[in-house]
Amino acid sequence: MSTILKIFVFPASIIIMCYGVLTILGGHITPGGGFQGGAMIAAGIIFCLVVYGLDESPIKLSHDFMAGLESAGALGYVFLGLAGLFTSGFFLYNLGTDLYHIVPPAISAAFNYPDALHAGIIPYLNFVVGLKVLVGLSAVVITFMGVKGIGKDYIDDEEI
């Protein structure tokens, strides 16, 4: 890739990632949410991977990091669902808003998202989904680029 691209892409990818975070955070008010924001963050990471390559990319996602973040996202979602099940009897019950008034106020306050709308657990669900999606989409591209690099060793150009 050209030097101009290499200078421009890293700051641009950080801006793209910040915009993805904003999309995740506005999922309960504006169009967007966990999947869309996570995809935008992954787009920033993939932007770096395409331009700098897998080895020289300044944003490096290790296997352990990806496995940990993916697991944390999934477990966070299950935890929020089970918290609703154990306290109210409904899986994924919105403890923060508590529309049926069946949850103690202390638990309701603990799960309430502190912003202007008090959307309950919805922003937290967007958050954990965003973590899963950003890792999942990045992992696809990282795997493809890695396999492409491994494939070079096994392909015999003379036979082709």
Partner 1 sequence: MVYVGPLVLGFIIGFILGTRIKQNPESKLKFGASVFVVLIIVAILMAYQLGPFPYYTDSPFANGFLAALAGIIVGKLTLGR
Here the contacts of 57-63 (C-beta below 8 Å, separation 24 or greater) are 58/10, 59/13, 61/135, 61/138, 61/139, 61/142
- 55 vs 159, beta carbon nearer partner 1: 55
Which residues within the stretch 60-89 sit at the binding site for partner 1 (CB under 8 A)? 60-61, 65, 69
Q: Which residue has the tokens 């309701």?
A: 108
Q: How distant, in Å, are the alpha carbons of 45, 91, 97 from that of 14?
A: 9, 36, 34
Determine contact, residues 124/109, Cβ cutoff 8 Å: no
Which of 51-59, 84-92, 102-110, 146-154 is the region at the interface with partner 1 (rule: CB under 8 A)? 51-59
- Per-position x/- string for 12-41, each x denoting binding to partner 1 as judged by CB under 8 A, each - no binding: --xx-xxx-xx-xxx--xx----------x
Q: Which residues in this chain contact partner 1 in the complex, by CB under 8 A? A: 6-7, 10-11, 14-15, 17-19, 21-22, 24-26, 29-30, 41, 52, 55-56, 58-61, 65, 69, 113-117, 123, 127, 130-131
